[in-house]
Amino acid sequence: MLGVCYYPEHWPEDIWAEDARRMAETGIGVVRIAEFGWARMELAPGVFDWSWLDRAIETLAAAGLKLVLGTPTAAPPRWLVDLHPDILPVDRNGLPRLFGSRRHYTPASPAFIEATRRIVTAMMERYGEHHAIIGWQVDNEFGCDDTIFSWGNLDRAHFQDWLKARYTTIDALNAAWGNDFWSMTVGDFAEVELPTRQVCDTNPSSQIDFMRCRSDLFVDYFRLQAEIIRAHAPGRFVTHNFMGFSHTFDHFEMGRQMDVASWDSYPLGRIESLPLTDAERNRFARTGHPDVSALQHDLYRAVGNGRFWIMEQQPGPVNWATWNAVPERGMVRLWTWEALAHGAEAVVYFRWRQYRKAQEQMHAGLLRPDHILSQGGAEASRVAKEIAYLGPLPATTPAPVALVFDYQAAWVTQFQPQGKDFDYRILKLRWYEAFRRLGIDVDVVEPGTSLSGYSLVLVPTLPIVSEAALQAFQETNALILFGPRTGSKDQNFAIPESLPPGPTLQGIMPLKVTEVESMRPGLSAAVSGTVSGTVTRWRDFLETDLEVLAHFDDGATALTAAGRFHYLAGWPETDLLGSVARYLLAKAGLSVVDLPEHVRMRRRGSLTFAFNYGPESYTLPVAAEQLLIGTPELKPHDVACWRA
Amino acid sequence: MLGVCYYPEHWPEDIWAEDARRMAETGIGVVRIAEFGWARMELAPGVFDWSWLDRAIETLAAAGLKLVLGTPTAAPPRWLVDLHPDILPVDRNGLPRLFGSRRHYTPASPAFIEATRRIVTAMMERYGEHHAIIGWQVDNEFGCDDTIFSWGNLDRAHFQDWLKARYTTIDALNAAWGNDFWSMTVGDFAEVELPTRQVCDTNPSSQIDFMRCRSDLFVDYFRLQAEIIRAHAPGRFVTHNFMGFSHTFDHFEMGRQMDVASWDSYPLGRIESLPLTDAERNRFARTGHPDVSALQHDLYRAVGNGRFWIMEQQPGPVNWATWNAVPERGMVRLWTWEALAHGAEAVVYFRWRQYRKAQEQMHAGLLRPDHILSQGGAEASRVAKEIAYLGPLPATTPAPVALVFDYQAAWVTQFQPQGKDFDYRILKLRWYEAFRRLGIDVDVVEPGTSLSGYSLVLVPTLPIVSEAALQAFQETNALILFGPRTGSKDQNFAIPESLPPGPTLQGIMPLKVTEVESMRPGLSAAVSGTVSGTVTRWRDFLETDLEVLAHFDDGATALTAAGRFHYLAGWPETDLLGSVARYLLAKAGLSVVDLPEHVRMRRRGSLTFAFNYGPESYTLPVAAEQLLIGTPELKPHDVACWRA
Amino acid sequence: MLGVCYYPEHWPEDIWAEDARRMAETGIGVVRIAEFGWARMELAPGVFDWSWLDRAIETLAAAGLKLVLGTPTAAPPRWLVDLHPDILPVDRNGLPRLFGSRRHYTPASPAFIEATRRIVTAMMERYGEHHAIIGWQVDNEFGCDDTIFSWGNLDRAHFQDWLKARYTTIDALNAAWGNDFWSMTVGDFAEVELPTRQVCDTNPSSQIDFMRCRSDLFVDYFRLQAEIIRAHAPGRFVTHNFMGFSHTFDHFEMGRQMDVASWDSYPLGRIESLPLTDAERNRFARTGHPDVSALQHDLYRAVGNGRFWIMEQQPGPVNWATWNAVPERGMVRLWTWEALAHGAEAVVYFRWRQYRKAQEQMHAGLLRPDHILSQGGAEASRVAKEIAYLGPLPATTPAPVALVFDYQAAWVTQFQPQGKDFDYRILKLRWYEAFRRLGIDVDVVEPGTSLSGYSLVLVPTLPIVSEAALQAFQETNALILFGPRTGSKDQNFAIPESLPPGPTLQGIMPLKVTEVESMRPGLSAAVSGTVSGTVTRWRDFLETDLEVLAHFDDGATALTAAGRFHYLAGWPETDLLGSVARYLLAKAGLSVVDLPEHVRMRRRGSLTFAFNYGPESYTLPVAAEQLLIGTPELKPHDVACWRA
């Protein structure tokens, strides 16, 4: 299903009906509205004006469109800030972040919680059972612009309460954090500072606890809204639209509170914000990197417990990246099909018509400001026809390979990179890419999720290994590959006394990491043996009696295994990753297909899709008559689909 | 005429007379004094001591020197700050910027306005009709060190008042800014925040309005002083010394309030502060870039309505750039002649003698600290003799080509670069350079200035096109070349509903820009047709039925024309700029001379000047006997002058 | 002697005795403890608990270990901050730097001074005469994390008092600072601002005075503690452990208050924090640069008036650098021997056992967290045996060459770099390196120290030349080489009226620096004559009738001499430095040995040591039978020692 985001509040009412008619004509089935409309809904505390929204909903519904409504809490109105200045988030220096954009609140503010209850309850009472509304989006893009954090007095008090709930006694906290170091002992929870503006490094234990605390605060804030919605809107789904590659709260934890996950896919913006190579950035500036959105699709399918939407799909050039390219012709269609191939239930474009004013005026829509269908609009319309031609898409089936993704891994490596380029976003992307280059579908899973059914499980790194994670590793028959730094911390961010990978993993894989090295960009280490290639950025030094599958030039162990448990003692460059991937896939009995840098495949049930991100054609191993979409010669920026 | 800046307050009185004598001997005719002397003039509120200044003025006048006096408001004394701490400017975080350097005030402070009236009135009453004083400089270098901006409570209140005057009703403001986006609607002018410290992007409409507001504030502040001066000093000129490449207020608007413009020319410092290429920086580190000061001369001639001075001319190495080279021998002379060739009425060196103390102790003067003439002093003396030899210089006549420069263009592209290297300073420099490399003199004009008499008009970009600008484009017979992003915004920073270049320009040039792309440094687009070369950084995608004069590799229109109106759909690199320049100059019937990278020519009335910025000689197309200054073989860092 | 830092407060008491036994077994003779234990010692104001420390001391002493105790003032406890929030240092924006790490105090706080007296007095009363305690360390790493500075109200008041003591009258201050510039005159000491948050550049005279003021404040703070210690601990030495390459206070001045200096040697961390070349960083990432620690050894031998310790020696990978490599096998031994070769009385490793928690959990120790001896521990143990084999080391004898190091030189060039890469740390390192590459031992000396006995004295730069320094230059017979910018400032940071190198030096060396140039990285100047090579970054332009020993390409003087006083008019690159070094060493009658980039030698009395920092072997000019340690083929990362 295709959808679009629409802002009736931006447009004169007399064009709403025509907009709705054209949406339906373009093949749009669902429209998201209202998520920034608080100021129009509640004019003063408890004074509501639903008239415009009533008319907007009716107009869209009358055109046969289904609706997803957003609660408007991402944009508190000016009068609320005036009444309760303490809802404003506070920056690291203790200065408030001001009204005039969005996300200007901290959920640690009781006044904001009260205002949230009021607006969400009123909205649900009005629209909860509306026939055309099929789902609800809570708030919008939690964490955008560093808004999980706030460093004010309310936030400190909330952190202190959270710590008290976690540790019960201040002695337990002092012990867990190792506060005997540097005389950091505190006598009472009320004495704990937020981890900011210390003279030098802040205790990493306090940093990860503050991150957990803020993550819990936003999960609770989601739950608060979700409960009000569910109480009034039986049968409608509840979701949130996440931002990809955003790691400041635990998306899995929040995902457990929702019916379907959704995320915002802007492939071109990621070209600059992820630390890709310059060659990649130039090559994929107008297409996006072939694995970046794909990895997020697979992540949010897991976050949504198997169900996900694209709630905002890039429809053309945007405004917020360092540079903002025009997508190659065909890419809006390609991105849409790729999301569907990875199991998306709907792809909702952001947005119907480019608004000529305010912050996002340079962000394209399906319509240009002059009301004419944009290039992206034309491509969306084509996809709609192709979807209609294909009929209902089959259900997604599990991939043969799982990649374990962990938010705490992102936090540990952020608070303690130890080498400044140890970037978890890139680490997981490179591992994923290596298998996708071999034609392999990869599921993303949370640590502790059952791994049964997989042939191979990838753990790029997992510094904190929970009991649940261990159990899942033990209960599968899959080969498992652990990357560097796995098991390097306990729950309190301390090094295990038995050294990494820690007592739980050492039970199944007897080895010790005795030293670690982060390597500046000029350094590398060659690996050879059953696999070969290059390690950069990070090395673990192992002490073990296990079999050495590959070793470094200096003789140290690079890859070892205890039965089906493998440990890779460094950050693998592309060459080594490819070699390791081939080795393990062969061991797991999985066959591979060598894909060039710019081509990817993905199966959805009985369908196989192929995508060409590059300027060169690629010959598919399929006859023309088998193809449901496309041609055997897969053209640049084109899509193909066939039944396997 | 040559001049020099002098600070009697730095030197013992017993050397003043000797200094004056040596100035006259060196060929100096005018001396600027007093612009940082407030603490010596007003010892406490209303308590003045003019004795030292009386003596300084008399001493200089007695040597036959003319004087320009500066009002001293750029350096408020300590006691004023103590009495009225709210005169201090406030940084973006709301913290005051402290006493201890200069420009520590905001004109939004009523106390500072009152103090200004008092000191300027007192100074004018004392010296307004002094026979030796020929002109007055108001304050000094408005905007230096980001001092147009201040983010305090007084500044916010002033902004709110300014907005009320502009929009009358808050509904009009909400509509103009598109505040329905993200529920940013405000209920009262008192609720408008300054555009700083918002959670994410600030509304660009509020940013440009704040810029306009601050620009108006400083223009008003200039006018306040100018009116006091004019009331007391009949026949004397009023000026301000602007800083080149400083775009934080509208110099044209302020220029309309003055009799003559002046600016501060420091060619070497610009080598690092402008984003030139590394090759250019190395090549011109000790000479300055050949077009950088020239472009500013042409700008301030326009700002001063045909009249301009150099109020501070670099006389040797300075102290404030990232690196501070020693000018090549001859460059102080060359820079002086170049200013004169562009029409400067006077070139005033900064400063007479290098002061051994305080912030600018490493900034050279015409005298070294040991009282001996510096290299720059010797070169100034040589220029003085050459001026005497040539006699009165002819009046400047209009150039055949005009370049439209617009402060709002700088603001729009700064607040919304869309691609991080869309730098208006460089864009206009490169367009200017392309024509100068072909031996063409270029006038700089404000949008709306009459363009009659020009053969060719260049508009590197002009996002906001006023009615006056349109009228000037229509009323000339010149060929006009518009660059990318022209007409891309309306007065309120919204995209025109008919798409760029907007309804006014579309009336004379029927085309639409349907998409725009900013390109990362690795990307470019080749152009071919009647012109050829490369586009980088920016592309407009055109929809038009007009003739295609050149196209991109992908077939899209790169250069088109509707009669004499031409539109170039991208940021041209040097190759394309040169090609376009030749094409249009030929079309306009202007002949060109190919100059190497390091040689430039400039006409002043019947005189032609040539300047060699490089280490290689250049053979001029002139016989030795024609030359008033110089030789046919134009040596490195040398100047030539002949009557055409 | 070898030692180790130990934190009994981190470990259960039941392992202390075993730890002590193993220390002794490893060859450790001395243990530093207690410097971060305040929170365990004083539980509330005046409420002390010494029981744990009593037991720790007794346990260590019982194993035959000697002790150095640290006063714990680097880590004020939480209750003290709660009682007196004004002890917290204040950042440049006026915001307090918070509790939660270390060094969170300003000595300008009377409450902190009172608390210091209380804890140090109590500690001394308890332990002053303990038989096992041989010395006392005052506080820890003054200046770490920019903690010399604090910008609060107490700090401003202290600065104003300091200025009053220095200048007596405000007129004297105004004159010294040149406050007539920009109307900066102040009417009272209470009107002086701290040099921060001014609108533009701050007066450099105020900056250097604030630096002197803070330096004095910390020297006084050291003295306060030293006096209490000396009153209670007869015969014990007093020291402080300095941080190398830290220039924010005058280490010589503080050194005069102590019996022995000590410093913290972390060779690998310096690879990224010093602006070395990328080639050097890659080559020496796992060894450290061969001259970096050596130069600090020679510095702190001078600071300690001939006596120094390494109070913290890197024992393996650390946690705080941008990247943290594992030392090459052998380097911990090499670093230890190198310190001893330069005269260290003891090398104390940081730390006994890697603590699994808190900020420094990734910092190695002699024991791993699993209680097993680390690689560094094994190497320490080897050194202990070698020391025992060699017997008592001879006394250090003076080197033939002295390098004059000056903290004010660091401050002047920091506050007024004039070219952004004029980095005093690198300048002195390169001069030192040039002579060490020729096999020459170099002493570091403070300006004003007697230079008699030296053959050659190097002054890389000395902007402020004191009377004492001049006297020392005059009273030696050594050749002296002055580098650029020498004598360029008077005591108040003003340029000498007679131009640099100022009247004192001009008395012995008649020349004037008439202009200076800082050169961007793309520029350089070739030198030829008796010496040849390249100048980058900086040139002085000389006016002199002295003999020209070498000149620049443009004919200007590059090297000149007045008798034994030589002046080098630029920043010499390695080629020119080597050429100058050979020229002067020959002139001084000293013989040289050409060492490759990675090999260094050093004499201690009758012993000569050689160190190999590289991956290639080096053949020593010594027969096997002469060697006390090592082999004639000096292997990578190996050490040799022989009696000359």
> What tokens appear for B361 in the block?
């102790």
Q: What is the Cα–Cα distance from C25 to A138, expressed in whole angstroms? A: 65
Radius of gyration of chain C, Cα coordinates, nearest whole angstrom: 25
CA B102, B108, B112, B116: dihedral to nearest 10 degrees?
90
CB < 8 Å to B201, chain A: 101, 320, 359
The stretch B579-604 carries a mean pLDDT of 98
The stretch B531-556 carries a mean pLDDT of 97
Interface test with B, best of C184, C464, C519 (most B CBs within 10 A): C184
Predicted confidence (pLDDT) per residue in B454-503, tens digit: 999 999 999 999 999 999 999 999 999 999 999 999 999 999 999 999 99
**B526 exposed, middle or buried (CB, 10 Å; 0-12, 13-18, 19+)?**
middle
Predicted confidence (pLDDT) per residue in A486-499, tens digit: 999 999 999 999 99
How many angstroms away from the CA of C275 is the closest CA of chain B? 17
Q: What subunits make at least 3 CB pairs under 8 angstroms with B?
A: A, C
Pick from A251, A337, A256, A353: nearest CA to A293: A337
> What tokens appear for B74 in the block?
């750029």
B518, A325 contact by CB (below 8 A): yes
Partner-chain contact B517 A326, CB within 8 Å = yes
How many angstroms away from the CA of A499 is the closest CA of chain C? 6
Length of chain B measured in residues: 644
CB < 8 Å to A416, chain C: 319, 362
The stretch B56-66 carries a mean pLDDT of 98
CB < 8 Å to C496, chain B: 356, 369
The stretch C542-552 carries a mean pLDDT of 97
Q: Of these residues, A9, A35, A125, A141, which one is catalytic? A: A141
pLDDT of residue A280: 97
Helix (H) or strand (E) holding C560: strand C557-562
The stretch A101-112 carries a mean pLDDT of 98
Please check the confidence at residue B118 and state whether its pLDDT lies above 90.
Answer: yes
> Does C140 carry a binding-site annotation?
yes
Q: What subunits make at least 3 CB pairs under 8 angstroms with A?
A: B, C
Q: Assign A173 a pLDDT band (cuts: 50, 70, 90).
A: very high
pLDDT of residue C156: 98
B529, B552 contact by CB (below 8 A): no
Predicted confidence (pLDDT) per residue in A375-416, tens digit: 999 999 999 999 999 999 999 999 999 999 999 999 999 999
How many angstroms away from the CA of B280 is the closest CA of chain A? 24
Q: Provide DSSP, C61-120.
A: HHTT-EEEEEP-TTS--HHHHHH-GGGS-B-TTSPBPBSSSS----TT-HHHHHHHHHHH
pLDDT of residue A416: 97
Phi (first) and psi of residue A416, to 5 degrees: -140, 70
- CB atoms near residue C302 (< 10 Å): 22
C567, C542 contact by CB (below 8 A): yes
> Does B320 carry a binding-site annotation?
yes
Q: Assign B644 a pLDDT band (cuts: 50, 70, 90).
A: confident
CA angle A274, A278, A283 (to 5 degrees): 95
Q: Which residue of B has its CA nearest to A38?
A: B183
Any catalytic annotation for residue C141?
A: yes
| Cis ω for the linkage preceding B234 (within 30 of 0) | no
Interface test with C, best of B38, B361, B375 (most C CBs within 10 A): B361
B137, B239 contact by CB (below 8 A): yes
Length of chain C measured in residues: 644
Q: Which residue of C has its CA nearest to A206?
A: C358
Predicted confidence (pLDDT) per residue in A282-308, tens digit: 999 999 999 999 999 999 999 999 999
CB < 8 Å to B323, chain C: 419-420, 518-520
How many angstroms away from the CA of B194 is the closest CA of chain A? 9
Q: Of these residues, C312, C328, C386, C446, which one is catalytic? A: C312
pLDDT of residue B510: 97
pLDDT of residue C644: 76
Any catalytic annotation for residue B312?
A: yes
Please check the confidence at residue A644 and state whether its pLDDT lies above 80.
Answer: no
pLDDT of residue B591: 96
Predicted confidence (pLDDT) per residue in A439-483, tens digit: 999 999 999 999 999 999 999 999 999 999 999 999 999 999 999
Using the Cα atoms of residue C376, residue C377, residue C382 and residue C383 in order, give the sign of their dihedral.
positive
Predicted confidence (pLDDT) per residue in A602-640, tens digit: 999 999 999 999 999 999 999 999 999 999 999 999 999
CB < 8 Å to A37, chain B: 183
Q: What is the Cα–Cα distance from B461 to B570, expressed in whole angstroms? A: 10
Q: Assign B594 a pLDDT band (cuts: 50, 70, 90).
A: very high
Q: Domains plus CATH for chain C?
A: 2-152+207-390 (3.20.20.80), 401-588 (3.40.50.880), 600-643 (2.60.40.1180)
Pick from C407, C284, C396, C261: nearest CA to C342: C396
The stretch B408-417 carries a mean pLDDT of 98
The stretch A538-557 carries a mean pLDDT of 97
Please check the confidence at residue B239 and state whether its pLDDT lies above 80.
Answer: yes
How many angstroms away from the CA of C51 is the closest CA of chain A? 16
> Running DSSP on this structure, what letter comes out for residue C400?
S
How many angstroms away from the CA of C146 is the closest CA of chain B? 22
Q: What is the Cα–Cα distance from A413 to A463, expressed in whole angstroms? A: 8
Please check the confidence at residue C215 and state whether its pLDDT lies above 80.
Answer: yes
The stretch A165-177 carries a mean pLDDT of 98
Predicted confidence (pLDDT) per residue in C298-331, tens digit: 999 999 999 999 999 999 999 999 999 999 999 9
Partner-chain contact A515 C98, CB within 8 Å = no
Q: What is the Cα–Cα distance from B249 to B142, expressed in whole angstroms? A: 9
| Nearest-CB residue to A101 (from B201, B518, B520) | B201
In Å, how far are A638, C112, C208, C220 from C154, measured between CA atoms? Answer: 69, 12, 19, 16
What type of residue is B440?
I
CB < 8 Å to C71, chain A: none
Residues β-bridged to residue C515: C541
| Nearest-CB residue to B72 (from C183, C196, C541) | C183
Predicted confidence (pLDDT) per residue in A248-266, tens digit: 999 999 999 999 999 999 9
Spell out the residues 6+ positions from residue C108 whose beta carbon is closer than 8 angstroms to its own: C150, C152, C154, C155, C157, C158, C217
Spell out the residues 6+ positions from residue B555 whose beta carbon is closer than 8 angstroms to its own: none
Pick from A406, A433, A427, A411: nearest CA to A537: A427
**ipTM here:** 0.96
What is the bridge-based pairing of β-strands A479-482 and A639-643? unpaired
Predicted confidence (pLDDT) per residue in C346-382, tens digit: 999 999 999 999 999 999 999 999 999 999 999 999 9
Partner-chain contact A358 B177, CB within 8 Å = yes
Partner-chain contact B187 A98, CB within 8 Å = no
Q: Of these residues, B312, B328, B386, B446, which one is catalytic? A: B312
Q: Which residue of B has its CA nearest to A272?
A: B520
C495, B369 contact by CB (below 8 A): yes
> Does A140 carry a binding-site annotation?
yes
pLDDT of residue A506: 98
State the residue for tokens 């050492």.
A506
- Residue B56 backbone zone (phi > 0: left; psi -120 to 50: alpha; other: beta): alpha
Predicted confidence (pLDDT) per residue in B251-293, tens digit: 999 999 999 999 999 999 999 999 999 999 999 999 999 999 9
CB < 8 Å to A98, chain B: 193, 196-199
C377, C315 contact by CB (below 8 A): yes
Pick from A181, A463, A416: nearest CA to C354: A181
Q: What is the Cα–Cα distance from A359 to C637, expressed in whole angstroms? A: 59
The stretch B349-377 carries a mean pLDDT of 98
Q: Half-sphere exposure of residue C49, counting CA atoms within 13 Å on the CB side? A: 10
Cβ-count burial C356-381 (b if 16+ within 10 Å, e if not): bbbbbbbbbbbbbbbeebbbbbebbb
Size of interface A-B (CB pairs under 8 A): 172
